Structure 1
């Protein structure tokens, strides 16, 4: 299967390199200089890209760049430097032969990212995206808790954390969880099974990422039915060429749970070749709350990645390998004698390539193929007898592939079309193995088109997707085919301001465990019984947002409403399984609705002081009974200041959450809370090297509080007072 997919894609890459090698007609020129905001020094090897043309150059030793042969029109110019927030500016080339000048400042601080590639598959400014997107850069990720991707992203606007302990935190977007939120790395599945079970972990190394992008709301058009609630995409930069040696080192240590770790990586570009690698590890002991230590909440992890690439003027090809391992405990009651822990490992292989600046109908394109071999073993340690027993084994072998093609702009039309798919071989054995061995396959083709007028923009597209399941044993094969589509409108209102409206029709095939599970499922604290006759979910939603982005104020506020027919949920039967002592649930279907709003603002109050705020709320329920859906985040707000003086930054913040009393069956009310944090950082720049020292003091009021989305909130409240120290080196 792997050979059948990769050979045609390689053939297309090689043929394109030879056939489409002609030069385009001469046009205008964009030139400028890139400097660091903290020092005013020029930035060498920053990658400057014309987003609409997929055309890139690098800055020289003086920070200067020049991009030639630009047809007349308006363009987004993106300045990128690894592990530094991207910057974007709009420039207009008035006529062929004209020169447009634009200079950039890159900021070595936790400023908001301005660029996304996840929303459309191509780089664009976040404020130009039709869907709501949040992007979190490497500097901010390192200063948050990097133990899991859920921990690192908690309290981003519209993003909450589902957990079964700190090591297994997973993002929840606008109340959507599990199989409705897709976690990717570089646009591809990572092979984990955390969507199925809350005690599993997403095998994503947060510290090695350049940034994480969060697309909020249905993203099924590009990413498939598992993205009906949104997408979390970890972005690395191994497919971005940089001449010479560059790299990073991040180390950290904390007081509460004696968390410590380090991550480092390098890129070395020589002629047309790029070599890269990264690796690291971290550990955290049992954490403490105002009530005492949460037993068995420890975590250990390590990872390594390496690869190489070839970069021609009009094409590129890379290969890399990743190894990830983790060991973590499931928190228990203080008087418990039996301690469960999980040991996970993943091997991942990936080939990526692309063509650009082609003189044909298809002006650029890219492809990727990855293979994941994921294994998670669960054990129980009986401390009173000093005996460790094996409980279950889960394996997931996953092959992913995709190819995107960007067609040449025709008048006001531009767009992308392509295909993607995956195969999956899932098997679970042992006492806690509710599902049969199942093979899954999926294939889809899609298109996304944009129409840009002088004062208004449109986006529309569609996707046809097939999902098939073949379980072993006396189970029914299922095959689902569905359509997802959407349309968006962006209207400029004033300088820097715009109104964006979206409509999305989404399709989701039922998940494997919803169809075939029949046994104890401790990862969600139930004995679940699947339903082989489930229908696919069909959703319709609208999203309206008001945006403003200038040098002094960045503001984004929006409201959304989604209605999902045939919504799959866990229906409690009122019975208890005698052997596992878990409540028995059945997967049932009804109609549901999600509606809510969110807003974020960053405003420069005086010369060195910025004010910031975030707020979000979602209400979700079954429409026929008005019964609230489970584990929906409460109303939340984050209020903060950012004082910046030269290379120093001080950022106090107050996190607020309201009481959540809208609860589902077998769910309890969660009290509201207020938590106070302070972050501070100082940057030292020497030549081409930057040193960033930071301190994160969290829960300074030592508040006892619980996460409503935690399956173990009663026995494992959130972490108490602590301090985390961080050092980051970039060269």
Structure 2
């Protein structure tokens, strides 16, 4: 079996480096993303950005955001079991990766602990954008590692005439998921209304291997206490025109899930709820009406978040986080100069949140966090194929620890003030009609979080006693990104390399006392390679319109603790992916192979992770059914060889593993 797996991987790699065919079957659509303040097409960006939408998003959707994005280049996941997983970008996670909804912060507490789920349901998402590398310029210092922007249509942004929407149902998988969602949009060209609802229920995860951690229990092939029950929904309305919109949305999220762990024989579970209200508006095509202003946009949202952590039926701890975030900005009228056309964008942002935690010996004291920020971004286009951009951001961050909830960190509370500054310089140069080179240099500062400053207690999810440092300095790093992109109407390849040098990296470092860890400033370096692409291999296969394409991905990240000479913890190993995709008209099928090398560089007590090879197959079909405009059927078999696969970037890698061989099917219909 091992020989077979290695042969499959070798074949996939050889296909990746083979000559690209020149014939066309399907053209690659242009994708406009919000990751650039100017709203550029993804092919014109300097920063490395990945986008999931449409059918590709439907196929990759999982019960968690981290697992939905786990197959993108440079992205792994925290994977604290099947119910809680945040994305890890180039080896960085937690508050270094900013997760947003329509550009606004998600004020849950998922960055505090890996067992805290992100309060977002991927089933209701229209598009997900992932910025790899520092995205602090537009999104703040907490995006020193990257940013994930989840885009939906809860506030309609363009006129709607009549009624449209979609419904979706999926079932199966190793967790026996039963999930469904429905979205409805209606309007008269001036007033647009949106409503959506989703649910998801899962059973205990079926796994192929043994559970190693003592506080996790396996019964037969199932990991106990890993089931979930989730609901979400929203209503929104906006006044729309061809040049803008102004609207309001109300949304809610509920999740009751098991952490896969037990405490004193009782299952530990989390019951989560979040309610949010958002106002957003945009006015486009203002050229000449407000001087140099070309467009204006803004939003403000208020979030009320709470979750209870239960041991059996008793509440062990309660987390509450209330707050608001707002931003206002715009783009400038392009100006023709002697060197080329100059375009610009600017924005101001502010946020405030109040964390309150109760329970027996809380990990952190109560804390208030307030931020204010201003950014500017300018791009000078020398020609259609050549441009340079420059941006800067200044912030004011104030974090106040508040005594009174019984935390051992109460003794060190007080108000801490930081003024992070970030800047970036990027260049894009078309080499010819097919190849484009990009480079991006950035300097980023990140203010430490409340838990890096004030935590002092046992973190039940990890089994570590974590201690903060109230005298913590700002995190500082410089990053260089280089990339080559090849693009035709029917194929695309991107080859990239990066290095980030931290003069001060806030790491959770082991101490001489067993299970004691402290947040300390160290010198660190992360570097790696990323590559991905898709191109046609054969056409006229089985039928005149039949074609086989190859989609592939490779990434590698290395994290070094330059203070001790060791490695940074939880870094994903070398990964290689290849998919052979057969399409004929409305039908598509594919064979996927993913190889992950062993990870023998680690800096925690969980040890190394062995290599693995995962194989999956899938098929989809687009058709028309009565009462709907279109229908998209899909079916997948994952982990075909029932491989035991552990995630090197997970703090639960001795428990959380990929589910066993499983079948998943679904239907998404639009009307």
Give the conservation status (yes or no) of the 8 Å contact 2:440–2:480.
yes
Q: 2:323 & 2:440 partners in 1: Cα distance? A: 32
Give the conservation status (yes or no) of the 8 Å contact 1:112–1:135.
no
Q: 1:557 & 1:371 partners in 2: Cα distance? A: 40
**2:226 paired residue number:** 297
**1:354 paired residue number:** 282
Structural mapping, 1:67-78, within 5 Å: none
Give the conservation status (yes or no) of the 8 Å contact 1:138–1:209.
no
**1:42 paired residue number:** none
Rate the CA distance shift 1:106–1:344 in 2: closer, same or farther, 3 A. farther
Structural mapping, 1:214-293, within 5 Å: 214-237=130-153, 238-291=156-209, 292-293=221-222
Provide, for residues 551-604 of structure 1, a one-character-per-residue CA deviation record: whole Å limited to 9, x for no partner: 23210110001011211011211324xxxxxx1111111111110010001001
**1:625 paired residue number:** 564
Give the conservation status (yes or no) of the 8 Å contact 1:113–1:136.
no
499-508 or 311-320, which moves further after superposition?
Answer: 311-320
**1:584 paired residue number:** 516
- Equivalent position to 2:335, from 396, 404, 410: 410
**1:102 paired residue number:** none
- Equivalent position to 1:380, from 301, 311, 314: 311
Give the conservation status (yes or no) of the 8 Å contact 2:296–2:329.
yes
**1:341 paired residue number:** 269
Q: 1:112 & 1:632 partners in 2: Cα distance? A: 32
Deviation at 1:163, TM superposition (A): 1.9
Structural mapping, 1:20-59, within 5 Å: none
- Equivalent position to 1:699, from 636, 639, 642: 639
**2:615 paired residue number:** 676
**2:598 paired residue number:** 659
- Equivalent position to 2:111, from 192, 195, 215: 195
Structural mapping, 1:395-474, within 5 Å: 395-411=320-336, 412-431=341-360, 433-454=362-383, 455-473=385-403, 474=411
- CA RMSD between the two structures: 1.8
Q: 1:712 & 1:127 partners in 2: Cα distance? A: 37
- Equivalent position to 2:525, from 581, 584, 593: 593
Rate the CA distance shift 1:138–1:371 in 2: closer, same or farther, 3 A. farther
| Secondary structure, aligned partner of 1:332 | strand
Deviation at 1:121, TM superposition (A): 3.0
- Equivalent position to 1:637, from 560, 576, 585: 576
Query: Normalized against structure 2, the TM-score is what?
Result: 0.89
Provide, for residues 241-275 of structure 1, a one-character-per-residue CA deviation record: whole Å limited to 9, x for no partner: 33221111110000532111101101112131000
Q: 2:452 & 2:510 partners in 1: Cα distance? A: 14
- Equivalent position to 2:59, from 136, 143, 166: 143
Rate the CA distance shift 1:401–1:255 in 2: closer, same or farther, 3 A. closer
Q: 1:518 & 1:584 partners in 2: Cα distance? A: 10
| Secondary structure, aligned partner of 1:574 | coil
How many residues were matched structurally?
611
Provide, for residues 442-490 of structure 1, a one-character-per-residue CA deviation record: whole Å limited to 9, x for no partner: 0000101110112411111100011101111341210000210001000
Rate the CA distance shift 1:492–1:200 in 2: closer, same or farther, 3 A. same
| Secondary structure, aligned partner of 1:152 | helix
Rate the CA distance shift 1:368–1:255 in 2: closer, same or farther, 3 A. closer
Deviation at 1:494, TM superposition (A): 1.5
Q: 2:668 & 2:655 partners in 1: Cα distance? A: 35
Deviation at 1:409, TM superposition (A): 0.3
Provide, for residues 597-635 of structure 1, a one-character-per-residue CA deviation record: whole Å limited to 9, x for no partner: 100010011221111110000001111322110100010
Q: 2:122 & 2:242 partners in 1: Cα distance? A: 31
**2:301 paired residue number:** 370
- Equivalent position to 1:612, from 548, 551, 569: 551
Provide, for residues 216-265 of structure 1, a one-character-per-residue CA deviation record: whole Å limited to 9, x for no partner: 00000000011000001111133233322111111000053211110110
Q: 1:222 & 1:502 partners in 2: Cα distance? A: 15
Deviation at 1:122, TM superposition (A): 4.0
Deviation at 1:521, TM superposition (A): 1.2
Give the conservation status (yes or no) of the 8 Å contact 1:273–1:311.
yes
Matched, 1:159 2:90: no
| Secondary structure, aligned partner of 1:523 | coil
Kindly indicate whether structure 1 or structure 2 has the higher relative contact order, using CA contacts under 8 Å at least 6 residues apart.
2
Can you give the 5+ residue segments of structure 2 that lack an aligned partner in the other structure?
1-23, 210-220, 404-410, 540-546
Give the conservation status (yes or no) of the 8 Å contact 1:440–1:467.
yes
Q: 1:113 & 1:220 partners in 2: Cα distance? A: 28
241-250 or 439-448, which moves further after superposition?
Answer: 241-250
- Equivalent position to 1:392, from 317, 322, 327: 317
Q: 2:519 & 2:563 partners in 1: Cα distance? A: 17
Q: 1:507 & 1:534 partners in 2: Cα distance? A: 13
